[in-house]
Amino acid sequence: MIPPIASNFVAGETPEAALAHVEGLNNRGVAGILNLLGEHYEERPPADADANAYVDLVEAIAERGVDACVSVKSSQIGLDIADDVFEENLARIVEAANPPSATGPDGTGTFVWIDMEDHETTDVTLDAFERHAVETDGNVGVCVQANLKRTREDLERLADLPGKVRLVKGAYDEPAAISYKKKARVDESYRDCLAYMFEAFDDGVAVGSHDPAMIDYAKQLYADHGTPYEVQMLTGVRESAQFELAAEDDVKVYQYIPYGSKWFSYFYRRIRERKSNALFALRAIIGN
């Protein structure tokens, strides 16, 4: 059983609980991004098992007809074992999400996000995204992190590809040689990257942020460039703001929804990654 402090951030332990959570969000105009908790497997059986669970999940999303997609971590489906294990499992998930008789919006399948983890996973994750973005005509997305110094150049590579790109500030404590450490500098990088995305991307800009200043900046960029975009926030964080944004006509709002039996490691990791996360979690509980 998930205790109350963690249940603010995790939708439940089963796919049924997660899908029920999505249905409640859909009724209030918010879409869902479902993430089965699990990561950094060093043996193949649990990686294959989670990949199988994602295959079942995308089929359940299509059957239920909910407004939802999925998000997968590379280390969860085999990257820590071998690149080819990750690539094989990701291909199975993407294939299941894009069946010949797809039932999603405009005849597309279930959208698949590929989460970004620490800097050692960046290249293989971007390579996988590029391959599947072309093969599915853009029915996959990838996350990039503004705290990494390389991200602005990565966006130039991604600009002409189909698919979506989620920009986040970055939660991993990366080496100073390759990342920005000061909050003000990360914010500056986020703004620069976001401005480039609205200027250079035709579509597929995903603003992964709870920062009101960044969301307001995205609104300004949309007014300037007209590039379609969406806002993504976590379960349990600024949920009232999510529903308020969803009521606006010019932006779609997604809630990133973790679920599964490994809720403790997820919750603990988010709190211990940075001291600011602990304060953020406390504010979220008190403020929602």
**Active site amino acids:** 115, 166
Burial class of 100 by CB neighbour count within 10 A (0 to 12, 13 to 18, 19+) = exposed
**Euclidean distance between CA atoms 91 and 86, whole angstroms:** 8
Tally of CA atoms within 13 A in the half-sphere of 164 that contains its CB: 23
**Euclidean distance between CA atoms 126 and 130, whole angstroms:** 6
Count of residues in the chain: 288
Contact indicator for 109, 98 with CB cutoff of 8 Å: yes
Structure tokens at 23: 């249905």
**Euclidean distance between CA atoms 73 and 53, whole angstroms:** 13
